[in-house]
């Protein structure tokens, strides 16, 4: 069975986007952090993205600027399979992209049962909260950034029941980022 993981940045005050939906505050150009990001991106796998996150990423990763600034990450992002959740997108232009529409939980259950690489959700807070409530996320990888935004969207906005999680590992970085992994506690 394929695993479904969330990898997201959050501000110290708990937001994954600021009040305008911007996530650029989460990008640090730090050698230690860049090496960690490149290692994560080169590990294979597939991506599950909401339409907004997909559009943001598809406008950057296939560009010469992405290849120049983060070649290993760009190569991984451009070659891995991608699933974009959308009711309106018909012909995705980013390589290796499949559109997922209809019942999201059912579609993800099917993807998890199929053979293939593990799947990661990046950004896409609405998808995270929906799939977390359905018990379909196997691991939450959260990077706490040393910045307070004051307002924005939380990663679990809309979750109606408490999600009990346990920390499985963590790592701190010289730039102030704290990476922590959590798995759902099954009762």
Give pLDDT tens digits for 75-123.
Answer: 888 999 999 999 999 899 999 999 999 899 999 999 999 999 999 998 8
Residue 19: HSE in the Cβ half-sphere, 13 Å Cα cutoff: 4
| Average model confidence (pLDDT) across the chain | 91
Percent residues over pLDDT 90 in the chain: 70
So what's the pLDDT on residue 149?
Answer: 96
Question: pLDDT tens digits for 161-180?
Answer: 899 999 999 999 999 999 99
Least confident of 42-46, 68-72, 126-130, 135-139: 42-46
Q: What global pTM score does this model have?
A: 0.90
Question: Domains, the chain, ranges and CATH?
Answer: 4-163 (3.40.430.10)
So what's the pLDDT on residue 41?
Answer: 63
**How is residue 26 annotated by DSSP?**
G
Q: How far is CA 129 from CA 6, 102, 137, in A?
A: 11, 17, 10
């Amino acid at each position: 069975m394929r695993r479904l993981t969330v990898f997201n940045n959050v501000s110290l005050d708990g937001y994954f986007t600021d009040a305008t939906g911007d996530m650029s505050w989460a990008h640090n150009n730090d050698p230690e952090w860049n090496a960690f990001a490149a290692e994560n991106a080169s590990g294979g796998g597939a991506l599950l993205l909401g339409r907004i996150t997909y559009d943001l990423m598809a406008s950057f990763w296939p560009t010469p600027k992405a290849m120049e600034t983060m070649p290993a990450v760009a190569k991984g992002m451009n070659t891995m399979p991608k699933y974009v959740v959308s009711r309106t997108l018909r012909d995705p232009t980013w390589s290796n992209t499949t559109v997922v529409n209809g019942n999201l939980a059912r579609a993800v259950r099917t993807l998890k049962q199929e053979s293939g690489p593990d799947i990661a959700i990046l950004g896409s807070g609405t998808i995270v909260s929906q799939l977390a409530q359905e018990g379909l996320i196997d691991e939450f990888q959260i990077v706490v950034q040393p910045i307070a935004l004051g307002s924005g969207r939380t990663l679990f906005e809309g979750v109606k029941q408490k999600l009990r999680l346990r920390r499985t590992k963590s790592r701190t970085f010289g730039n102030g980022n704290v990476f922590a992994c959590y798995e759902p506690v099954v009762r």
